Amino acid sequence: MIPTSYPTQDDIARLTARMLLEIKAVHFNAAEPFTLASGLPSPTYIDCRKLISHPRIRATLMDFLTVTVMRNVGFEAFDNIAGGETAGIPFAAFVAERMALPMTYVRKKPKGYGKNARIEGDMTEGQRVLLVEDLTTDGGSKLSFVDAIRDTGATCAHTAVIFYYGIFPETEKTLGDHGVALHHLCTWWDVLAEAKAQEAFDARTLDGVEAFLQDPRAWQAART
């Protein structure tokens, strides 16, 4: 079903942050930082995959993601919804159902046998494809998915994510230079504001996280 209510973007960001905190998808630890996939340290970690196990929150956020894309881009702007392997696949399916559109998914690499395909499902030349993922940090991982979509003759000018780090200034430029606009529900700044409002973490932890968000590259350089 296509959602018909339109919360403001500020309300969407605040409520999304609240839901992520409620299901404990947000982890803060400035004293013992997490190691990201890049190998760099971070006092923050988010696990959007937990959302698939919480149907009420999951449904609400998928409504939010759908109306955000429709409001930003248009009601008839897409012909196909693609999920990136693996985290983006369930969210693409939920969004495709709401938008009453075909769903496909994009492999990280060709599967190595058969047609050696990266696209699973039916994607055809000329289709306007929305790439759906759980989150983005610097935008780099999206480019391979976008290129695989474009190799079919389809177009991909938009990607939608639940969570956007919002602390690396090059992210939107990286995507924009590749002809891709980013749509998201909330950032680390929204989560930090809600965590402060709820007193979800102690003051020292929140101060440490805020120091990281203000200058993440310097924070990481000092700890590597």
Question: Read out DSSP for 42-56?
Answer: ESEEE-GGGGGG-HH
Other Cβ atoms less than 10 A from the Cβ of 74: the count is 10
Write down the pTM of the prediction.
0.94
Q: Decide if domain 9-221 falls under CATH 3.50.50.60.
A: no
The DSSP element (H or E) to which 181 belongs, if any, is strand 181-186
- Rounded Cα distance between 201 and 185, Å, is 22
Reduce the DSSP state of residue 157 to 3 states and report it. Answer: strand
Residue 4's pLDDT is: 62
Residue 224's pLDDT is: 81
pLDDT tens across the length of the chain (224 residues):
566 668 899 999 999 999 999 999 999 998 899 988 778 899 999 999 999 999 999 999 999 999 999 999 999 999 999 999 999 999 999 999 999 999 999 999 887 666 668 999 999 999 999 999 999 988 888 999 999 999 999 999 999 999 999 999 899 999 999 999 999 999 999 999 999 999 999 999 999 999 999 999 999 998 88
Which candidate, 14, 61, 50, places its Cα nearest to that of 186?
14
Nearest 5°: phi and psi at 212?
Answer: -65, -45
